[in-house]
Amino acid sequence: MSEDARSAPGNPECVLYGVWNMHESFCLIEETEGRGRAAEIQTIQSATTLGDVRALIPKLRYVSLPFDFEDQHEDETDDALWHWQEEPAAEDGDWPEMPTAYALRAFEDMSIFDDLVSATGAEIVTTVFSGDYLKIPLDREQDLLAVLARHGIAATRDDAVIYALAGSQDV
């Protein structure tokens, strides 16, 4: 692998990957983004009052609330109780995003994506309500890692972070 390929735009230096059992698939996300998103999702989930959420909003770097928080709660005080699962987007399963969807955006360099799909037999799955995701077969982990290594991308497996990206604590 040449230095040019390793430093080319769109090539993350390290990806985080893990299993998302709901889709029976591996998930991929740039590592810093993945850990940052997971931490922010968990912080949002730990908020218990509207004031907690209002204080978090300007600090969020990776995650945005999928609902118009202020419009929905404009007449409520900061001490009003709040639970993330009672927000319409969470109730509908639209927030947080499916962790398998991140792989579709992991590489700006489409040759890496194409190589990954070809080597692992991955396929883009379209859902009616939640959009597309990449299904990477669970029996192709070594192929997945070989593709990433071939493109100079380190990989760290962390199933707990993948589950946190989905808003779940259960691994």
pLDDT digits (tens, 9 = 90+) for 77-92: 999 999 999 988 888 8
Three-state DSSP state, 15 = strand
Of residues 27 and 67, more confidently modeled: 27
Residue range 2-30: average pLDDT? 79
Average pLDDT, the chain: 90
Whether the per-residue pLDDT at 147 is higher than 90: the answer is: yes
Residue 108: DSSP 8-state: S
Q: Which residue has the tokens 């945005």?
A: 64
Whether residue 154 is predicted with pLDDT greater than 50 in this model: the reply is yes
Write down the pTM of the prediction: 0.88
Question: Which stretch, 8-12, 95-99, 165-169, has highest mean pLDDT?
Answer: 95-99
* Digit-coded pLDDT (tens) for 52-67: 999 999 999 999 886 7
Amino acid at 122: A
pLDDT of 5 above 50: no
CA distance 137 to 155: 17
As given in the structure block, the two tokens for residue 78 are: 């900061």
Nearest residue to 91 (alpha-carbon basis) of 66, 111, 54, 125: 66
Residues 6+ apart with CB under 8 A from 10: 107, 108, 109, 112
